[in-house]
Amino acid sequence: MPRICLFPGTFDPITLGHTDVIRRAVNLFDKLVIGVGVNASKEPMFPAEQRVAWAQEIFKDDARIQAEAYSGLTIDYCKELGAHFILRGIRYVSDFEYEKAIADMNRLLAPDIETIFLTCSPLYSTISSTLVRDVIRNKKEEAYQFLPREVRW
């Protein structure tokens, strides 16, 4: 059975922190799917199609990595993909507390899907999409230092 992993998130936008986690995690699995979550109750800065396109462009040279948009419960999307792993990046202890609660709920709903936590490299631990969006709103060009070169608008 192939080891398929889903890395879910909004990736609004995808940052150097995200790509660091993806590049370090991909060797653990046969296939890693970047799942760009679409939540009808949230208004993202960038449309889902753009976020997927950025991820596809960043990882175009690695056939093990793909990017797709999805909506609904992450565990339902895992089942659709045949994924038995969910990857979550952790920057700080507070991230772990939040992510563990989600992982516990997912485990209750789908005991055969395992959540894997990978800590972010220290170089990128201060980067979050939320903070990057604030920089984009106020000083657009200065945000590029936190983003892969493929992420431009």
Question: Span 125-143, mean pLDDT?
Answer: 94
Binned at pLDDT 50, 70 and 90, residue 108 comes out as very high
- The model's confidence at residue 68, banded by pLDDT at 50, 70 and 90, is very high
Q: Is residue 114 part of a domain?
A: yes
Question: How far is the C-alpha of 64 from the C-alpha of 125, rounded, in Å?
Answer: 25
Domain range spanning residue 73? 4-146
Q: What is the mean pLDDT of residues 52-79?
A: 98
Average pLDDT of every residue of the chain: 96
Domain for residue 138, yes or no?
yes
**Cis (ω within 30 of 0) for the bond into 47?**
no
Q: What is the pLDDT of residue 62?
A: 98
Q: Point out the least confidently predicted range of 24-33, 36-45, 63-72.
A: 36-45
Rounded Cα distance between 42 and 64, Å, is: 30
Q: Which ranges of the chain would DSSP assign to H, the alpha helix?
A: 16-25, 48-58, 74-81, 93-109, 129-138
What was the pLDDT predicted at 140?
Answer: 84
Asked if residue 42 has pLDDT above 90, the reply is no
pLDDT for the residue 40: 78
Residues catalogued as catalytic = 18, 42, 91, 129
Residue 151 located in a structural domain: no
Domain count, the chain: 1
Residue 93 lies in a domain: yes
Q: Output the DSSP codes for 127-143.
A: --HHHHHHHHHH-GGGG
Residue 80 lies in a domain: yes
Residue 118 lies in a domain: yes
Q: Does residue 94 lie in a domain region? A: yes
The CATH number given to whatever domain includes residue 52 is 3.40.50.620
pLDDT band at 146 (very low <50, low <70, confident <90, very high): very high
The residue behind tokens 């990736």 is 11
* C-alpha to C-alpha distances, 20 to 26, 102, 121, 152, nearest whole angstrom: 10, 22, 7, 18
